[in-house]
Structure 1
Amino acid sequence: MIRSVVVGCGSYLPERILTNADLAKMVDTTDEWIVDRSGIKQRHIAAEGELTSDLALKASQAALKNAGLTASDVDLIVLATATPDETFPATACRVQHGLGMTRGFAFDVQAVCSGFIYALATADNFIKAGQARTALVIGAETFSRILDWNDRTTCVLFADGAGALVLQAQDGEGTNDDRGILTTHLHSDGRHHDLLYVDGGPSSTQTTGKLRMLGKEVFRHAVVNLADVVKETLQAVNMTADQIDWLVPHQANKRIIDGTARKLGLSTDKVVLTVDHHGNTSAASVPLALAEATADGRIKPGQMVLLEAMGGGFTWGSALVRW
């Protein structure tokens, strides 16, 4: 059977770093308050005029370089973002143009913080269907543009960045020993819209709007949903949690990550954690964490890597990858 194998990984973070001390000068908060509730110590913020497509393009170029490929090798771009450059066209098309890619097809997916998992599953299915052989999967966000900087419950959490993977079709045996994406699982439940949303849009207010969140309720759902989807994933391939080499979760909140690991009986030594220095970069958080953990040698070829995320909608999902 055809497997979607990860052959390259890249990332980009804006130069500007906003620390908790910086935020304490802007809103009624402290470093201790932020760290205690989220584990975040600093985050990156895009420069004025620096667009989501700019971040995505730099992460994509890094991923292609890591893969030893060029834009001419790519025939599919799937870009996950909740903060596109424009209402339309797709930000993926701007990245396509920036890469100098004139073949194939490119589009965005929108599942907020779960977006990268949705994008990965989408690209995987195109590859398995034989409609693409090399795919660039990107998560990119400029969440700083939709924050209410007077709301200390949200502005301290979210940040900007981009990460990308290159997938290539390779033949596999159809077993868990194959390299590549072994299984993906996606879910959504629209009943919980009011717990995490942006209060604007073209059809409603004709404005971009600002992010609104009921943090305690989101936390409660996140721990349950993420643990459940991880168990569903392991059952699908007849594996147990102790066979996982690395859990790479959406970097929303250290408390959520720790709670999910406890529910699964996973040691924190097996969890890739970047939320302390990246903040919550929404759809970019999982690929940013992957890029960091592959660059520093933690994630090695042949290891079993479990990805999971949950975002507004609610949406949530997982992907199991033999690296």
Structure 2
Amino acid sequence: MQYAHITGWGKAVPPASLTNDDLATFMETSDEWVRTRTGIRKRHISHVDTSVLATVAAKKAIAAAGIEGSDLDLIILATASPDTLIPNIAATVQAEVGATCGAFDINAACSGFLYGLGLANSMIQSGQCRRVLVVGAERLSFYLDWSKRETAVLFGDGAGAVVVEASEQEGGILGYELNNDPAGRDILKSGFGTQMNRFEADALDFYIHLNGQEVFKRAIHGMGALSTKVLEKCQVNKEDVDLVIPHQANERIIDTLISRMKIPKEKAFVNIAEYGNTSAATIPIAICDALEQGKIQPGQTILSCAFGAGLTSAAVLLKWGERTTPINVSDAEVPACDTDALTLIKPAVDYFMAKTDK
């Protein structure tokens, strides 16, 4: 039997960061207001396309696995904010890393990376692939209406990636569960797509809209239900879980989820303070940070869960392998930015504030 192990990992974070105090310079908010409600202190704003972030994370993951891009059998890129819809940006990453394999984007919003991890596991277990690159990359600042505090404070940009390899060694991805609740699809959405009237510029509304209370309630239910289901499916007791890496949407959601599952809070990895909600990128970035901080150790049982627009939800249970350090280190970096985050978003802020004043 073939087991699917994570053997490489990498992240890419834009250098320009936007703090809560920065937000307070143009909207009615404060660091205390944002931090106590979400756990977020800052988020990163990208000056480059989503595919650039994805490529940097991919190159780091490939190097960490000790392979070349040409060794890949498949590239799965999870994003809700691609540079282009046609072609997919997995093709851009493929060209940049020198791969000659299948490559496609998936959009399952914040659950996208775990959807991709589940697909990679299935492709490996079926014998179709031996090495799969799974990327989560987002430039959500593109979708933000900076006059709306309820969304503007939440989201950030970034990318993370892992290489999943076939192995005869037991472990790796033990199981996964995917679900979607279409009844709630309108509580978290963007109108971007062919439904837009492209002939009426004033009617274009592709910004993120959400019903915060409903998202909070359904997120806890969705992640909790699938986490329980995957543990039961794999016949693993929650007491045997060493680390939980949840989607980083809101620290209150994480705290409530962990409490209801009766898992000790210290087992939950939380890094939302540094990044905000980067949607499909939150979990691969968290994996990288957890490894850097020594929170992931060989042989640990790790539970990861996510929830996003759709309403999608996913849970993956895995047993980490023997290695927690990269085989090689890539010199790929996000291009330098010659300005600060406030300057990057100023044209958008001015636009929305002008509309609000009318």
Partner of residue 14, structure 1: 14
Moved more, 248-257 or 92-101: 92-101
How far off is 1:205 after superposition? 3.6
Alpha-carbon distance in structure 2 between the residues aligned to 1:127 and 1:136? 12
The 8 Å contact of residues 249 and 286 in structure 1, kept in 2 or not, is answered as yes
TM-score by length of 2: 0.86
Partner of residue 189, structure 1: 181
TM-score by length of 1: 0.95
Moved more, 244-253 or 202-211: 202-211
More strand by percentage: 1
Structure 1 residues 205 and 274: CA distance shift in structure 2, 3 A: farther
How far off is 1:294 after superposition? 1.0
Matched position secondary structure for 2:151: coil
Partner of residue 23, structure 1: 23
Task: Please give the residue correspondences for 1:1-323 in structure 2 after superposition, counting only pairs within 5 Å.
Answer: 1-47=1-47, 50-101=48-99, 103-172=100-169, 178-206=170-198, 209-323=206-320
Show CA shifts across 1:140-169 (max 9, x none). Answer: 000000111111000100000000010101
Alpha-carbon distance in structure 2 between the residues aligned to 1:208 and 1:44? 23
1:10 partner amino acid: G
Alpha-carbon distance in structure 2 between the residues aligned to 1:273 and 1:41? 13
Alpha-carbon distance in structure 1 between the residues aligned to 2:63 and 2:317? 24
How far off is 1:202 after superposition? 2.4
Matched position secondary structure for 1:22: helix
Matched position secondary structure for 1:78: strand
Unaligned 5+ residue runs, structure 1? 173-177
How far off is 1:88 after superposition? 1.1
1:191 partner amino acid: A
2:4 partner amino acid: S
1:3 partner amino acid: Y
1:254 partner amino acid: E
Structure 1 residues 322 and 205: CA distance shift in structure 2, 3 A: farther
How far off is 1:208 after superposition? 7.2
2:180 partner amino acid: S
The 8 Å contact of residues 135 and 166 in structure 1, kept in 2 or not, is answered as yes
Alpha-carbon distance in structure 1 between the residues aligned to 2:85 and 2:179? 25
Moved more, 64-73 or 184-193: 64-73
Show CA shifts across 1:211-270 (max 9, x none). Answer: 000111100111111111111111001111110010000000000000000011111111
Matched position secondary structure for 1:210: coil
Alpha-carbon distance in structure 1 between the residues aligned to 2:307 and 2:182? 13
Alpha-carbon distance in structure 1 between the residues aligned to 2:194 and 2:292? 40
Show CA shifts across 1:282-316 (max 9, x none). Answer: 00000000011012211012111111000001000
The 8 Å contact of residues 201 and 208 in structure 1, kept in 2 or not, is answered as no
Alpha-carbon distance in structure 2 between the residues aligned to 1:259 and 1:56? 31
Rg larger in structure: 2
Over aligned residues, Cα RMSD in angstroms? 1.1
Matched position secondary structure for 1:162: strand
Alpha-carbon distance in structure 2 between the residues aligned to 1:297 and 1:69? 23
1:56 partner amino acid: A
Matched position secondary structure for 2:174: strand
Matched position secondary structure for 1:28: coil
2:62 partner amino acid: L
How far off is 1:26 after superposition? 2.0
1:252 partner amino acid: A
Matched position secondary structure for 1:153: helix
The 8 Å contact of residues 146 and 208 in structure 1, kept in 2 or not, is answered as no
How far off is 1:200 after superposition? 2.5
Alpha-carbon distance in structure 2 between the residues aligned to 1:12 and 1:282? 14
Alpha-carbon distance in structure 1 between the residues aligned to 2:75 and 2:313? 21
Unaligned 5+ residue runs, structure 2? 199-203, 321-358
Runs of 4+ residues deviating >6 angstroms: none
Show CA shifts across 1:24-80 (max 9, x none). Answer: 112111111101110000111101xx0000000000111111111110111110000
Matched position secondary structure for 1:201: coil
Show CA shifts across 1:179-233 (max 9, x none). Answer: 2100010000111111000023124444571100011110011111111111111
Alpha-carbon distance in structure 1 between the residues aligned to 2:86 and 2:248? 28
Alpha-carbon distance in structure 1 between the residues aligned to 2:192 and 2:78? 19
